Structure 1
Amino acid sequence: MSTSEGLRHEAERCLRALAGDHARLRDDQWTAIHALVVERRRALVVQRTGWGKSAVYFVATRLLRERGAGPTVIVSPLLALMRNQIEAADRAGIHARTINSANTDDWERIFGEVEAGEVDVLLVSPERLNNPDFRDLVLPKLAAGAGLVVVDEAHCISDWGHDFRPDYRRLRTLLADLPPGIPVLATTATANARVTQDVAEQLAGDDALVLRGALERESLRLAVVALPTAEQRIAWLGEHLDRLPGSGIVYTLTVAAAHEITGYLRERGHEVAAYSGQTDPAERLQAEQDLQENRIKALVATSALGMGFDKPDLGFIVHVGAPQSPVSYYQQIGRAGRGVDRAEVILLPGPEDRDIWAYFASLAFPPEHIVRSTLEVLENAGRTLSTGALEPMVDLNRARLEMMLKVLDVDGAVRRVKGGWTATGEPWVYDRERYDRVTAERRREQQAMLDYIATTGCREHFLRAQLDDPAAAPCGRCDNCTGDRWSADVTREGAAQARDRLHRPGVDIAPRRMWPTGVKDDLGVSGRINSDQLPETGRALGRLTDIGWGNRLRELFASDDADVPADMVGAVVKVLAAWDWTARPTGVVTIGSHSRPRLVASFGRRIAEIGRLPYLGELAPAAEPVPRRHNSAQRLRSVWNALTVPADLAAALPDAPGPVLLVDDRVETGWTMTVATRLLREAGAPAVLPLVLATPN
């Protein structure tokens, strides 16, 4: 037996320990393993979900460890993925541990196990790569002693990819600094030709081995069901969920939609659970386990469950709302049907999808003048600034600011250190052409998703072509290929029940309780907001991201200023009737508006009329509209002097001995309502109850 044959025989033995006695290595799996173990090369494997990419690095790890190599370091994006991989490794006798934000108390012990040679695989979240202590003290030793480095979900490296993550860009530096002879494996199931080329270049220039296979999924039955309204889509799901095989995932585009749909399905008697990035980690883990063990019919999830969840017998995936990229869609549906002969994949698109896409697009990399101003602030500070200290000086909310800083860090213009960020003084170029090209690519992907919904051709062929799969061909299984379509019928009772649920009015508005950092010097406030200046918990008719009232509210705010619509007044009356206030309001005050004076004034006066409450007047707005600001400190500064209490309103407040209902069109950051409440409380209002039509989420 040749050396190569002997090694393959050994690799097959490892694979059977991992996947069972029936398992056999695919040719490309063996090619990749041989390249890593024998040739110590860098390889990129682009293969469909369920093909066995994790088997490549686990088998390679076993072979390398038996030959005296150090542990494998896997950069993996999601905790769900890490948990599944650790379980899979254990089955093959591979000791795997993980370092992530959820287990910081275990880090010291894990590092000790690594140094003692007791760990075969160490999984690291990409965010750890820029933790100053980890980056400067742990990572160099870890990389120098690694036997193999694996980049999972490698499409995240490329800003051409559908799920680009700035932290992943640090891998270019990590890979460039690896000692010679340490093999590298990158894997993904969702990379088109452009992303594949980009990732391969970041791996090893022209020297990377690229193994790309056909993306056909013979078990998937793709379909689109077109229904005109949100309530009909949700009703359809409620009436068809039990007809779908096994257990599965219902994807939504927003957190609000996930909770709305979960509530509706539970009311219809379905065992389901909500899952999003905002779900408590312990609850997420429990929800994953419940689905794994078929204790629930479905997880109703956002894209937080997009990567890493491994359940081979997943019987269906339904999308309520279309993702904005065919590549992203194919990645998500790839979770289904890995270990069953047939899995149903159904898309329920809606007209509101484009509004949600536009919202996510608004969170893209900021324009050049904001980036330049941020760099200038850091340079002039002459010291380290935390994100919180930097935020009041930059017109970005926290999430976008942190994303921008991560990109600037990778570009070398700033550096994350203990306590925050510093400017490096290195020149930085705003690559406008590239950002514009990426933006154009995102728009092309959105149009392609609309084309997928409308196509009369093979749906799987369409998606595989979007991934530049050279083997793309008609599947013969989808609704267009077979003519076998899901009925779009919904019972009148089901539609009514869904309408009642989605249009059930009322969302809590929690008051701001802390003044933002950085405003003490100019505004004179800091720390906790005094209790005698706080509003009570308020109410909004609905969220702009809802699939129920959200659709109507988005239409309202997209149109010209007008009187409040009658149906919204009726719904707000229901909100008021269900409000569990400790004392009934005794008067109504509106917040003066430059953008929608008719809407706000008519809203306040109608509520006063229906509730038989005195309309006390309006907080007068400044002469000029305040500029729109995106973070707390800047927003508070802009509204601090933007409202005043007119004399007639001040005189009327003593006639309202109980709480005042404070009416506006919408709450965004909450600072306008906070300032208005402070003014009213100082003018004598004993309590303030905020009431608005809309809140963002």
Structure 2
Amino acid sequence: MERVTSTDSDTMTSGPGDLREDAERLLRELAGPEARLREDQWVAIEALVVQGRRALVVQRTGWGKSAVYFISAKLLRAQGRGATVIVSPLLALMRNQVASAERAGVVAATINSGNVTEWDEIHAQVAAGDVDVLLVSPERLNNPDFRDAVLPKLAADAGLVVIDEAHCVSDWGHDFRPDYRRIRTLIADLGSDVPVLATTATANDRVVSDVATQIGTDTLVLRGSLDRESLHLAVVRIPDAVERTAWLSNHLRELPGSGIVYALTVAAAQDLADVLNSHGHKVAAYTGQTDPAEREALEAALLNNDVKALIATSALGMGFDKPDLGFVVHVGAPSSPISYYQQVGRAGRGTERAEVVLLPGPEDRQIWSYFASVAFPREHVVRLVLENLDFDRAMSTAALEPLVELNRSRLEMVLKVLDVDGAVKRVRGGWIATGEPWVYDTERYERLNAARNAEQHAMIDYQATGECRMNFLRRQLDDPGLTADSPGCGRCDNCTGTRLDTAVDAEALSAIRTRLDRPGIDLAPRKQWPTGMAKLGISLSGKISDGPETGRVLGRLSDLGWGQRLRALLDAPDGPVPEEVFRACTVVLREWDWTQRPTAVMAMDAATHPILAASLAARLAQVGRLRDLGVLRLRPELPPVSAANSAHRVAALHNAWETPHLTDLDGPILLVDSLTDSGWTLTMAARTLRAAGALAVLPFALATPS
């Protein structure tokens, strides 16, 4: 593995002069008349186009990695080579790069799940030489039709293969994706004369070594300094979530141009956007739940400076290219300095100055813990997946879900890992077992968990450090340009000694707190039984006809307003409902637009907060003149319910409660719980009450995770 450390000098190197002039011309068409190739850009292009080598380019965001592969693609096509295949998780966010490439005469096509009917036509265009660049998502690599019919031809015909965001290939990458491991197979099937380029902005020494080894034994590594001279980093520590929101509202107009405000959860992003809009800021929420068409419109709005900011989750991250992005603010800290560096790297790519502000919160660690809890499951759970797959009969993910204690997303992740490991295979109609021996790699998963914990500790250290913040981030990524005697950046709050004022306007704070303190969100009832319940011995299927009505929840644990208080309440020892929480509950009930007012109230039995739920029900009975039916008791002989997926949860809750004695009911029952997550506990409890004579059940819970 040959390593080259970038100097970003303007010195010309020896090489085919005509080819370099062609590359310079293409760059000007891509990036404008003043653009000039960086030295490492030319070294990479020459290695790929002239020498047919394999290369890994690790350079900061905005350095011009996409220019390397678009220019190389065009030069190789001019030599009569086949189309360049770019494997990227960012197809939806590469619109502006592709558009600029097309201005330089690069003809691009995309194969994705939305254009299956066009695959044959697109491959025919590739084979005919009408396409210069073919963009493919990593998930396509294991679609049976694509894998068996299209991929072999692409591997045979490709002029260049590009692996974008290559840190995802590595177990050590902060954004590891099982589908990326299939790229190893793709590379192995390539001819020895097919050059390969891997690119990323976020790779430390371990990731660089891992990815370079996977690409080839003689990989050229071009790695440059990660210092970003336009970024001015700062941390503002405000423990209260509502005060952080007020601070952002007070300072947003002062931030230069337009930018991105990152939040850790969908609910937080939506709350922030709502509050900021109500205070006259032109912003919009952008999350994983945003419709794809709306995402495209929002990206265009930010690109055109039609909004001050997008309030986004990590759904807006890699691949978004706006050179004049003036700021990036994080309301809540990401769990890794590496992912933080990547997200802040969106700013200041084409400007002299961009503001980067981190507003961490005490709830961040709980959010990190939640996301970590959905990592690769334990061995006995994975073995159960293998045991339920046949060798010759395909089983869909939906059919397999009721048989294993995993929800859909985690099950799909497990199947992808098993597929890459050779233990299962995706075929038409679902999945089959291969019969190949499979070993649960305990060491690997423990190693990844330890790395994740170390990154979280580093992110906490970043918030508290007194050293140069840019140097801190560069050290986390093993920046080769950083030495023990490197000076500070001279721009961050620690280097300059200039701290952003944490004071907030009292009137604005009061207005925001009032808005965020509005309690109550709808709790939609479950409408359909999980598929495959018969396999678990439960005769439930189709529509749910005896469940609860639409319910209400005081707040989400991820809410900016009530979240912090509800988390503190549920983390504390069990006890009677606090007065502040009770008053908020009465507001929710008073504003509840129910068809028929409840005439009775009943508390759910709970393993963690039985006193809280029971005391709340009793007090609501008193002030609302409701008949107090006491507590709906769980059968004592039943074990705690821990199933992760819907089918197993329903099965565990089937007949889980003692039958209550309900007589002379003349209206709905208000069913009170402390916490609701999937909604299945309240659904199954409502069935019990309906079977015992309840006319209707109105669920009410203090909190829901999101």
Q: TM-score, normalised by structure 2?
A: 0.95
Corresponding position of 2:237: 226
**Structure 1 residues 355 and 166, CA gap change in structure 2 (3 angstroms):** same
2:675 aligned partner, one-letter code: R
Q: 294-303 or 606-615: which moved more?
A: 606-615
2:649 to 613, 635, 640: 635
Of residues 234, 257, 267, the one that matches 2:268 is: 257
Q: After the TM superposition, which residues 583-622 of structure 1 pair with which residues of structure 2 at under 5 Å, given as runs?
A: 583-622=596-635
Change (3 A) 1:2 1:636: closer
Aligned counterpart, 2:68:
56
Whether 1:132 and 2:144 are equivalent positions in the alignment is yes
Query: How far apart, CA to CA, are the structure 1 residues paired with 2:504 and 2:171?
Result: 41
Equivalent residue number for residue 324 of structure 2: 313
Q: Within 5 Å, give how 1:12-411 maps onto structure 2.
A: 12-104=24-116, 106-204=118-216, 206-379=217-390, 383-411=393-421
C-alpha offsets along residues 504-555 of structure 1, whole Å, 9 cap, x if unaligned? 211211111111111125111111112xx13221111111222322222222
Partner of residue 20, structure 2:
8
1:114 deviation in Å? 2.3
2:491 counterpart (462, 472, 477): 477
Letter in 2 for 1:115: A
Q: Structure 1 512/631 Cα, relative in aligned 2: closer, same or farther at 3 Å?
A: same
1:508 to 2:522 alignment: yes
Name 2:544's counterpart in structure 1: 529
Contact 1:635 1:669 in 2 (8 A): no
| Paired AA for residue 130 in structure 1 | N
Q: How far did 1:103 drift?
A: 3.9
Give the Cα–Cα distance (whole angstroms) in 1 for the partners of residues 278 and 240 of structure 2. Answer: 20
Superposed, 1:435-474 pairs within 5 Å as: 435-472=445-482, 473=486, 474=488
Structure 2 stretches lacking a partner, 5+ long = 1-12
Q: Contact (CA 8 Å) 2:167, 2:173: kept in 1 or not?
A: yes
- Cα separation, 1, equivalents of 2:77 and 2:400: 46
AA matched with 1:681: R
Give me the whole-angstrom Cα distance separating, in 1, the residues matched to 2:194 and 2:397.
36
SS of 1:573's equivalent in the other structure is helix
Greater Cα offset, 512-521 or 328-337: 512-521
- Offset of residue 108 of structure 1: 4.3
The answer (yes or no) to whether the contact 1:86–1:97 under 8 Å persists in 2 is no
Give the Å deviation of 1:614.
1.3
- Residue of structure 2 equivalent to 1:431: 441
Q: Are the equivalent residues in 1 in contact too, given 2:335–2:456 (CA < 8 A)?
A: yes
CA distance in 2, matches of 1:100, 1:282: 16
- The farther-off stretch of 366-375 and 446-455 is 366-375
Higher mean alpha-carbon deviation, 50-59 vs 472-481, is at: 472-481
1:181-238 Cα offsets, whole Å, 9 max, x none, are: 111100000100111111111111x311100001111110000011121011110000
Indicate how the Cα distance of structure 1 residues 433 and 3 shifts in structure 2: closer, same or farther if over 3 A, else same.
closer
2:670 equivalent to 1:661:
yes
Report if the CA contact (8 A) 1:80-1:309 is conserved. no
The one-letter code sitting in structure 2 at the alignment partner of 1:343 is A
In the alignment, structure 1 segments of 5+ residues that lack a partner are none
Where does residue 3 of structure 2 map in the other structure? none
Residue identity opposite 1:601 in structure 2: A
Instruction: Please say if residues 223 and 480 of structure 2, whose CA atoms lie closer than 8 Å, have aligned partners that are also in contact.
Output: no
Return the offset for 1:2: 8.6
In the other structure, the counterpart of 2:500 is 486
Q: Does the residue aligned with 1:62 lie in a helix, a strand or coil?
A: helix
Segment drifting more, 680-689 vs 518-527: 680-689
Show the counterpart of 1:680.
689
- Range that drifts further, 405-414 or 676-685: 676-685
SS at match of 2:603: strand
Q: Secondary structure at the match of 2:388?
A: helix
CA contact (8 A) 1:409 1:416 kept: yes
Distance 1:2 1:394, change over 3 A: closer
Q: Residues of 2 paired with 1:3 and 1:462: CA distance?
A: 38
SS of the equivalent of 1:536 reads: coil
For 2:387 and 2:287, the matched residues in 1 are separated by: 36
Instruction: Tell me by how many angstroms 1:106 deviates.
Output: 4.2
2: CA distance, partners of 1:411 / 1:70: 30
Work out whether residues 626 and 642 of structure 1, in 8 Å CA contact, stay in contact via their aligned partners in 2.
Answer: no
1:246 aligned partner, one-letter code: G
- Find the aligned partners of 1:10 and 1:432 in 2 and give their Cα distance: 51
Q: How many residues align?
A: 688
Identity level (%): 63
**Whole-Å separation in 1 of the counterparts to 2:426 and 2:129:** 31
Distance 1:311 1:628 in 2: 45
The letter for the 1-side match of 2:652 is S
Q: Pairwise CA RMSD of aligned residues?
A: 1.6
- The superposition leaves residues 120-148 of structure 1 with CA deviations (integer Å, 9 ceiling, x where unpaired) of 11111111111111111111112211111
1:571-600 Cα offsets, whole Å, 9 max, x none, are: 111211221112222211222223322111
Which whole-Å CA distance do the structure 1 matches of 2:177 and 2:17 have between them? 40
| Aligned equivalents of 1:507, 1:631: Cα separation in 2 | 24
Aligned-pair CA distance for 1:559: 2.3
* Deviation for aligned residue 1:334: 0.4
1:528-547 equivalences in 2 (<5 Å): 528-530=543-545, 533-547=546-560
CA contact (8 A) 1:458 1:475 kept: yes
Structure 1 residue 685: Cα displacement: 2.2
**1:15-39 residue CA offsets vs partner (Å, 9 max, x unmatched):** 1111111111111111110111111
- Matches of 2:238 and 2:54 in 1, distance apart? 48
Q: How far does residue 560 in structure 1 lie from its aligned partner after superposition? A: 2.1
Comparing 330-339 and 661-670, the one that deviates more: 661-670
Structure-2 separation of matches of 1:609 and 1:121 = 70
What is the identity, as a one-letter code, of the residue corresponding to 2:502?
Answer: A
Q: Secondary structure at the match of 2:558?
A: coil
Judging changes above 3 Å, is the alpha-carbon distance between structure 1 residues 594 and 448 closer, same or farther for their aligned structure 2 residues?
Answer: closer
Contact 1:238 1:268 in 2 (8 A): yes
CA distance in 2, matches of 1:102, 1:382: 29
**Secondary structure of the corresponding residue to residue 11 of structure 1:** helix
**Are the aligned partners of 2:547 and 2:684 in contact in 1 as well (CA < 8 Å)?**
no
Cα gap change, 1:107 to 1:502, in 2 (>3 Å): farther
- Tell whether 2:532 aligns with 1:518: yes
Give the letter aligned to residue 543 of structure 2.
Answer: R
